[in-house]
Each structure stands twice: as structure tokens, then as C-alpha cells.
Amino acid sequence: MAAERIFDRAVWVRVRGCGCEERRLNIRVNIELLSISNPVHKKDLAVRLTDDTDPFFLYNLVISEEDFQSLKSQQGLLVDFSAFPQKFIDLLQQCIQEQNKDIPRFLLQLVSSAPALDHTPVSLNVVETNPFKHLTHLSLKFLPGTDAEIKKFLASCLKCLKEDKMMLEEKLKKTEEDLTRQLSYTQQ
Amino acid sequence: MAAERIFDRAVWVRVRGCGCEERRLNIRVNIELLSISNPVHKKDLAVRLTDDTDPFFLYNLVISEEDFQSLKSQQGLLVDFSAFPQKFIDLLQQCIQEQNKDIPRFLLQLVSSAPALDHTPVSLNVVETNPFKHLTHLSLKFLPGTDAEIKKFLASCLKCLKEDKMMLEEKLKKTEEDLTRQLSYTQQ
């Protein structure tokens, strides 16, 4: 299985549980195309919601071409599966452009049926607000990550962070050497 | 609950599964004293085995004072619970001193009843080899970490690594500024 990352950004999301105050969370939305060749060649769309400040926050959604057909008919979408990822990214970009406005025209909502986001499925909605009403352009249902999924995700974060740290250490060493060399050269 | 770290080092361990070749692994042994005040004040000894190169490698052992009494009688130990942690560390230090020798007198063994170290309990043995025989000074039984435990452990690693990275970034910035300032001062 090969994964091609097509979007990875932290975006502001309005979180709504039942019977509790709305709050804002900075959620990282990661979108990948998963190419699977066995038994038949197909591409799935994988969307992951995480929170850079909370290692245990993980929600997943994987949409296959068949899943997409029911999503398409349920929500009256007019694009096909191959065009959907870019359309979804366009909607996210619209929300990002509006996220610092007092009254954003487009916003992301994370809705849970439970009071808190605690191991219950959530819906990520792209909502347009016009003077007349709220229009939901898209609503995607995510499942909370299991311990095994969170474990795998954290291991991958750890790997990236270790690489970053190693690069930083090298850069620090190189910077010190370069500048010390320049300094001794200038002092001569 | 407060945890006091009293040992944290990577040591070479000989790994033995049933029916497979012996191999060496560099295992991090972490020993902490856990102070618990509720309902009564007591101290547990927590030992954790991890592998810096394998994020999913985690084995745990927690020994309470009561557990220690049975360990003591089973293995004929002569120290009491309060002296045991330091005695265990002394044994580990002896193994570390000998670990680069061709024929170490003291060594650590990790023994599994399964062919591989795959979600089965393991025993960590401190073994002395003299010309006559192998003497097991101590044998501690560890349980493989659950997904939830591995998840928590990885989150704590991630937190430390993020702090390290931030400190490195600051140090890099400061080094660049310092040396650039010195350089411009010298060039004047």
C-alpha cells in the first residue's frame, strides 16, 4: 500500500457536543490517497483529524469508491470519486481563508452526539452561512482512533520528530563550525 | 502518584526465544519508584523495558511490597524491599561493565517461551557465568505492554522529544545570533 499525502494543515474548527458550549480547536486535517493493488488496483481516500497539542486525539475516515457512491447519493454531490478529494480540499481552503474573520462565510464544524469528544463518532461539516441560513456543503463521519491506531500514529510522529531533531543537531553543529571558522579567519 | 526515576540506561541483552537463535538487543531499562498515598502510603517499584529503535517494544513490571515478599521467598533473596532497587541497579551495572567483553561474567538475558518476543511474557535474568555453571542472580517476569500502555508511553516520548527539539531550535537561534554579532564586531 502506497500513501500519497495531498493535504496536511492545522485548521480552526468549531466543536459542538450535545448540551455544552461551543469551543474552538486547532485540528490538523491530513488527507492521503491510499493506492492498494491487491487483489485489484484501487484508490481509497483517507482523512485523519489530529490535534498537535493532544497526542491522544485521533479520528479516522477512509472512503472507498463504493463508500463514495452512497455518500454521493445521500448528500447530493455532483462530482465523481476522482474529483472529490480536490473539491474537499477547495472547501477546506475556503474555511481557512475565512477562519480569522468575526463572521466567517465558510467554517468547519466538528459535531459529536456526546457532550465531549470522548470516543464517540463525530461529523466534520463544512458549513456556509449566508444571511438566510446555514448550508452544509459536506458532512463526513469520523470514527475515534482505537488504542492500536493511536499507537501507530504516535510512532510515526516520533519517527518524524527524531529525524527533525537529528537534522537540527547537524545544523547546529555546522552553524557553530562555520561561524567559528569565519570568526577565527576575521580575527587573524 | 509521584514517580522518581532511579535508573534509565540502554543495556545489551541476549534474547532467547524457544527454538530460535540467540540475538543481542539494546534494551533501555527504566526503573522508577512510584509513591502512592491513597488509600495508604506505599512505594511500588516499576521497571520498564523499551527499545529506542522500536516504538512498539514495551514490557512492564510493577513490584509492590507484597509482590516482593513472594519474589524474595521464591528466589531466596536476602535483602528487604527497601534495599532491593539499589541491589538490582548494582547487578545491572555489573552487566554493563562486562557487556563489551567476549566472555562476560555477568550478563542480561531476556527469555521468552515463544519463538519471538511477540506479546508473550518474558523473563529478564541476571546471569553470572563461572567456570562451573550459570548462576541466575535474579529473574524478573515482565508483561508485554498493551496498546493503551504503548500509546501512553509513546505520548510521553513525544512530549520529551518536542521539548528537546524546541530547546535545540532556541540554541541554534542563539548560536547564530551570538556568533553573527561577534563576527560583525570583529569585522568593524
Q: Residue A141 and residue A149: Cα distance in Å, rounded?
A: 17
Contact A99, A11 (CB under 8 A): yes
Among the listed ranges A40-54, A105-119, B46-60, which one has the minimum average pLDDT value?
A105-119
pLDDT in tens, A117-144: 777 899 999 999 887 788 899 999 999 9
DSSP string, chain A: -EEEEEEEEEEEEEEE-TTS--EEEEEEEEEEEEEE-SSS-EEEEEEEEEETTEEEEEEEEEE-HHHHHHHHHHHT--S-TTTHHHHHHHHHHHHHHHTTSSS-SEEEEEEESSSS-SSS-EEEEEEEE-SS-EEEEEEEEEEEPPHHHHHHHHHHHHHHHHHHHHHHHHHHHHHHHHHHHHHHHHH-
Comparison of pLDDT for B105 and A37, the residue scoring more: B105
- From B161, B3, B121, select the one nearest A155 (Cα to Cα): B161
Q: Which residues 6+ apart lie within 8 Å of B69 measured at CB?
A: B81
Give the per-residue pLDDT at A63: 96
Give the per-residue pLDDT at B39: 81
Asked if the structure places residue A50 within a domain, the reply is: yes
Asked if the structure places residue B117 within a domain, the reply is: yes
Among the listed ranges B3-12, B20-29, B81-90, which one has the minimum average pLDDT value?
B20-29
The answer on pLDDT for B178 being more than 90 is no
Mean pLDDT of chain B: 91
Give the per-residue pLDDT at B44: 95
Query: Which span out of A179-183, B48-52, B181-185 was modeled with the highest average pLDDT?
Result: B48-52
The answer on pLDDT for A103 being more than 80 is yes
Asked if the structure places residue A163 within a domain, the reply is: no
pLDDT in tens, A27-42: 999 999 999 887 888 8
Query: Which span out of A56-60, A112-116, B132-136 was modeled with the highest average pLDDT?
Result: A56-60
Q: Which domain holds residue A95?
A: 2-145
Q: Does A78 touch chain B (CB under 8 A)?
A: no
pLDDT in tens, A50-59: 999 999 999 9
The answer on pLDDT for B5 being more than 80 is yes
Q: How many domains does chain A have?
A: 1
Q: How many CB atoms lie within 10 A of CB A126?
A: 20
Q: Does A169 touch chain B (CB under 8 A)?
A: yes
Comparison of pLDDT for B145 and A37, the residue scoring more: B145
Give the per-residue pLDDT at A184: 83
Distance of residue B180 Cα from the nearest chain A Cα, in angstroms: 7
A contacts of B55 (beta carbons < 8 Å): 154-155, 158-159
pLDDT in tens, A163-185: 999 999 999 999 889 888 888 88
Give the per-residue pLDDT at B180: 83
Mean pLDDT of chain A: 91
Asked if the structure places residue B167 within a domain, the reply is: no
The answer on pLDDT for B102 being more than 90 is no
Give the per-residue pLDDT at B121: 93
Q: Residue A152 and residue A144: Cα distance in Å, rounded?
A: 14
* C-alpha distances out from residue B82 to A157, A187, B2, Å: 39, 60, 17
Asked if the structure places residue A115 within a domain, the reply is: yes
| Matching residue, cell 569565519 | A182
Asked if the structure places residue B90 within a domain, the reply is: yes
Percent of chain A clearing pLDDT 90 (strictly above): 70
Q: What is the mean pLDDT of residues B21-28?
A: 91
Q: Does B177 touch chain A (CB under 8 A)?
A: no
Give the per-residue pLDDT at A113: 80
B contacts of A147 (beta carbons < 8 Å): 146-148, 150-151
List the CATH number of the domain containing A72: 2.170.210.20
- From B37, B34, B12, B11, select the one nearest B23 (Cα to Cα): B12
Q: Which three cell numbers stand for residue B75?
A: 528466589
- From A68, A59, A50, select the one nearest A122 (Cα to Cα): A59
Strand partners, A34: A3, A44
Give the per-residue pLDDT at A38: 79
Which residue in chain B is spatially nearest to A172 when comparing CA positions? B172
The answer on pLDDT for A116 being more than 80 is no
Give the per-residue pLDDT at B171: 93
Q: What is the ipTM of this complex?
A: 0.77
Comparison of pLDDT for A145 and B21, the residue scoring more: A145
Asked if the structure places residue B84 within a domain, the reply is: yes
| Matching residue, cell 493535504 | A7
A contacts of B161 (beta carbons < 8 Å): 158, 161-162, 165
Q: What is the mean pLDDT of residues B105-132?
A: 88
The answer on pLDDT for A18 being more than 90 is no
Give the per-residue pLDDT at B148: 95
Q: Which residues 6+ apart lie within 8 Å of B155 measured at CB?
A: A55, A56, A154
Q: Does B165 touch chain A (CB under 8 A)?
A: yes
* C-alpha distances out from residue A33 to A47, A84, B6, B160, B167, Å: 9, 11, 46, 31, 35
Asked if the structure places residue A152 within a domain, the reply is: no
